[in-house]
Amino acid sequence: MIKSIQHSSHTFHIPVMGTGFTIDTPLRVAEYGISSVISLVDDTLIEQMRKFHCEKANQPYEEIPNSNDDARALRITAYLNLMDCLIANRVKALQASPFEPGSRITRYFELLPDSPLRQAYHDMLATTDPQEKEQLRESLRSQAVPGSIDANIMTKLDRDKYRNGEKMDPEFADAMSALRGYANSTLNSSLVLSAGMNPRLYSYLTTFDDFFPDENGRIKKRIILKVSDYRSAIIQGKFLAKRGLWVSEYRIESGLNCGGHAFATKGELMGPILKECGLKRNELTEKLHPIYVKALKAANRTTVDQPLDVKVTVQGGIGTAEEADFLLQHYNVDGTGWCTPFMLVPEVANVDEEHLKKLAAATDKDVRLTDGSPLSILYWNLLNSSSEMARIGRIRDGKPGAPCPKKHAVTDTEFTKIPICTASRAYQKLKLEHLPSEGFSDAQLAVVKEDILARACICHELGGSVKIMHGIEPNATSTICCGPGITDFSKVASLEEMVGHIYGRLSLMTNPERPHMFIRELKLYIDNFRRETERYSLELSARAPKYFHEVRDNLFEGIEYYQHLANDFTGETQIKFLDDLKTLRDELEGIPTPNKDA
């Protein structure tokens, strides 16, 4: 049996958004008990933000220059230590503030969900005895604990580093350096690993003591895996357990109904995935615990007799309090992640004024799942962002491709010995010149050319908004990686309003036609399935016919599961859910599927 997890003050967290949207979000929300995630991709931006916040807080700042071989890791450590220090000071000030309207500690407790802690706060307010009231206040002060300052490493972004044309040791690669930067910080928090397994990165975790239990069985730096399904959880969990590393949280994210990069499953949908994870949750821990203990003993490290705490959380496309409550109750998850809606909360996310207005006005025509990522992974894009306008302008001017100032996404060696980025001007010029020799038909050539030109600079331009806002680069262009759920909201909101929406105290929903999160995800998978079959018909897909039938079968199984699940809904919600489900079933049946024997 899994030990019960100690819940944080809130039942939701704020996932990572791009490289800059949540780069200092903990500084805005951690003191109120809300956990959030910083991206560790762009160390140049991180260094710029460290300078900005040092100056703002009257802290000393000494530049860590790029000429330092270990600049990336050192910059990350310095920035995270600054966040840790500044937030600790804010928490002390909050705990010392008076219980009066508008104070920071009052705000802390009024933001809370319905819970024993919130009830204790209301009991204190209702108490008339001065001595008892003061005792209750002191107790509440000690329970006003901060949210976690978590950090994210996208494991696929692990380019090797070169000096004078020579490859440096693996420890200086991007993901490896980011891990070292986090591990050497003072944080007591979690590292979120996303985008799949990176064996050398996962093995490198074992060189840092903070990821192992101390003499009291506590782990200072915990591991969160962002996974798409149970299979991914067990494979990665086992790999880490064999090295004496425990996964404290499995963060299940929708394959397509999310923001940023989208990692589509083979048609497995969120509902069935959550059901399987719920059924096998104890099994996961029971399988991994003995492997974990054996590895700890072999490494002469502190062992733990009982399985450590494990959380299962879910994120991707959640839009209403009803959906969040259903996930918490029906699937017994420990929390939910809310991402895209917070892009309309200036107190939380860094979105410049121009793009805040565009997000508030966004419709389905403005937000698309594209081939915009140079990593050849589907990617959500706001189509009228300044970055997209600049990309289209360069194509119109006959100069496709972006400058490549940071090179975090360099992966291609088709034309060069040292990898370059497929969104770069250098690559696109070479590739477009080479296309005529590749023997494509006119129909194929049009699609391939569109794919090449769609690639956008994301490692640099995802930080555009925050640089504009803080005067770091006033003329920066911004990539906006919101998910499709942005179309359900049109109001720029305060932190109180968005938290109130999450907990059902009010509604910020402005799209009366919004589908249920499960329905929207299913629609996205069907649209993607159609797109892939069309590419197959043009002989532009490396997929085998078997793949298409597997995806189709999984989608139909998901639809059948949802038909039964609808019994747990009532009234108009149930009627609309079933109507939408039938429409999508008919749509799926009408998509031609490659011959299995082809």
> Which pLDDT does position 164 carry in this prediction?
87
At residue 140, φ and ψ (nearest 5 deg) are: -65, -35
pLDDT of residue 2 exceeding 70, the answer is no
Q: Is residue 484 part of a domain?
A: no
Average pLDDT of span 509-528: 97
- Tell me the pLDDT tens digit for each residue of 161-208: 998 889 999 999 999 999 999 999 999 999 999 999 999 999 999 999
Q: Which DSSP state fits 341? A: G
> Which pLDDT does position 276 carry in this prediction?
97
Q: Is residue 379 part of a domain?
A: no
247-257 burial code (b ≥16 CB/10 A, e <16):
bbbbbbbbbbb
Task: Match 């010995």 to its residue by tokens.
Answer: 417
| Residue ending a domain, choose from 303, 324, 341 | 341
What total of structural domains would you count in the chain?
Answer: 2
Range of the domain at 564: 515-598
pLDDT of residue 596 exceeding 90, the answer is no
* Spatial contact of 269 and 257, defined as CB atoms under 8 Å apart: no
- Dihedral of the CA atoms 541, 543, 546, 552 (nearest 10)? -70
The CA distance from 365 to 386, in Å, is: 16
Q: Hey, which residues does 402 pair with through a beta bridge? A: 424
Quote the percentage of the chain above a pLDDT of 90. 96
The CA distance from 453 to 438, in Å, is: 17
pLDDT band at 7 (very low <50, low <70, confident <90, very high): very low
* Spatial contact of 444 and 540, defined as CB atoms under 8 Å apart: yes
pLDDT of residue 3 exceeding 70, the answer is no
Two structure tokens written together for 313: 């959380």
pLDDT of residue 5 exceeding 60, the answer is no
| Residue ending a domain, choose from 320, 341, 362 | 341
Q: Is residue 404 part of a domain?
A: no
Run of H or E residues at 78: helix 71-96
Q: Is residue 275 part of a domain?
A: yes
The CA distance from 257 to 404, in Å, is: 29
- Tell me the pLDDT tens digit for each residue of 451-503: 999 999 999 999 999 999 999 999 999 999 999 999 999 999 999 999 999 99
Average pLDDT, the chain: 96
> Which pLDDT does position 553 carry in this prediction?
98
Give the predicted TM-score (pTM) of the model: 0.96
Average pLDDT of span 36-45: 98
> Which pLDDT does position 598 carry in this prediction?
59
Q: Is residue 410 part of a domain?
A: no
Q: Is residue 519 part of a domain?
A: yes
* Spatial contact of 495 and 29, defined as CB atoms under 8 Å apart: yes
Q: Is residue 389 part of a domain?
A: no
Could you tell me which residue, 3 or 490, shows the higher pLDDT?
490
- Tell me the pLDDT tens digit for each residue of 96-133: 999 999 999 999 999 999 999 999 999 999 999 999 99
CA distances from 406 to 109, 159, 230, 394, 425 (A): 42, 11, 35, 19, 14
Q: Is residue 440 part of a domain?
A: no
- Tell me the pLDDT tens digit for each residue of 420-434: 999 999 999 999 999
* Spatial contact of 76 and 40, defined as CB atoms under 8 Å apart: yes
- Tell me the pLDDT tens digit for each residue of 281-311: 999 999 999 999 999 999 999 999 899 989 9
pLDDT of residue 69 exceeding 70, the answer is yes
DSSP structure string for 469-527: HTTSSTT--------GGGGGB-----HHHHHHHHTTSS--B--TTPPPHHHHHHHHHHH
pLDDT of residue 583 exceeding 90, the answer is yes
| Residue ending a domain, choose from 341, 357, 385 | 341
Write the CATH number for 156: 3.20.20
